[in-house]
């Protein structure tokens, strides 16, 4: 897999920076779960839509048949997380799940396919179902599929 090249812009959130650093320092063997509940995460490396800088984002691990779902919940906030626009503009990314890192491409879901994956996301991590009622915003969902598949 070809690494994304360019200047890295760490997250402005301290806990995200710390988790990314620990995850990468251990090649995904540490800092690979949420501290509060022990649920697994993946690490996305992609390019920023406006800056073009490299971004690294830990997301909940929602996987099925080698494909992953990125849920733009932001804890039920009334705005999309910053990475949503990055995925829309620059869908090519690296995804690391534990020690395995591969190239993926993001595709935003809609209609019945979105509904099916949303149901799967809530079954995988029930907190998503608690976040959605907090906002009138419908969470964007992105299916991350292996590059070249």
Say if pTM beats, i.e. exceeds, 0.85: yes
Identify the CATH assignment for 14-146 out of 3.50.50.60, 2.30.110.10, 3.20.20.70, 1.10.240.10.
2.30.110.10
Please say if the pLDDT value at position 1 is more than 80: no
Neighbouring-strand partners of residue 47:
54
pLDDT tens, residue by residue, 98-135:
999 999 999 999 999 999 999 999 999 999 999 999 99
pLDDT tens, residue by residue, 10-23:
999 999 999 999 99
């Amino acid at each position: 897999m070809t690494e994304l090249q360019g200047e890295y812009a760490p997250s402005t959130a301290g806990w995200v920076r710390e988790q990314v650093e620990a995850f990468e320092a251990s090649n995904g063997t540490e800092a690979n779960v949420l501290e509060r509940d022990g649920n697994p995460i993946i690490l996305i490396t992609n390019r920023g839509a406006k800056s073009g800088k490299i971004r690294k984002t830990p997301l909940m691990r929602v996987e099925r048949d080698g494909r992953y779902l990125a849920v733009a919940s932001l804890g039920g906030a009334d705005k999309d997380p910053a990475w949503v626009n990055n995925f829309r503009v620059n869908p090519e990314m690296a995804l690391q799940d534990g020690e395995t890192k591969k190239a993926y491409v993001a595709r935003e879901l809609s209609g019945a396919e979105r509904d099916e994956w949303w149901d799967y996301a809530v079954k995988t991590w029930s907190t998503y179902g608690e976040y959605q009622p907090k906002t009138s915003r419908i969470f964007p969902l992105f299916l991350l599929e292996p590059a070249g598949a």
